[in-house]
Amino acid sequence: MRFLLTAVLAALPSWAMAQGTAGRDLAASCAQCHGTQGRSVSTEVAPLAGLSKEHIVSQMKAFKEGARPATVMHQLAKGYSDQQIEAIAGYFAAQKR
């Protein structure tokens, strides 16, 4: 039991690091439209940096379900799992506006 607990605790830092980069890595595909780190310079595309994680998740799910109209976002959102959407939203929420 003690060995198992030690092994789990030792693995936590690498797991946390992987989780931290997952959002960044997935969010890189958003840069074309939403700007680097979610800081859009276009007036036609919403900036994502600094928005709440909950807001981004709810909007992505609305795109995914077809409840929010879009040109391409409904197609893109369908390609992400709920866990991936959470990671992307966490990344953008942590960025400064």
Compute CA distances 73 → 22, 45, 61, 87, whole Å.
20, 11, 10, 17
Q: Is the pLDDT of residue 16 over 50?
A: no
**pTM summary value:** 0.77
Task: Record the tokens describing residue 61, joined without a space.
Answer: 């799910």
Q: What is the pLDDT of residues 37-73, one digit of tens each?
A: 999 988 899 999 999 999 999 999 999 999 999 999 9
Task: Record the tokens describing residue 31, joined without a space.
Answer: 């840069």
Q: What is the pLDDT of residues 25-39, one digit of tens each?
A: 999 999 999 999 999
Averaged confidence pLDDT in the chain: 86
Contact, 86 vs 32, CB < 8 A? no
Long-range contacts (CB closer than 8 Å, 24 or more residues apart) made by 44-48: 47/97, 48/92, 48/95
Contact, 92 vs 51, CB < 8 A? yes
Predicted confidence at residue 41, as pLDDT, reads: 86
Q: What is the pLDDT of residues 2-11, one digit of tens each?
A: 554 455 455 5
| CATH number of 23-94, picked from 3.40.50.2300, 1.20.200.10, 3.30.160.270, 1.10.760.10 | 1.10.760.10
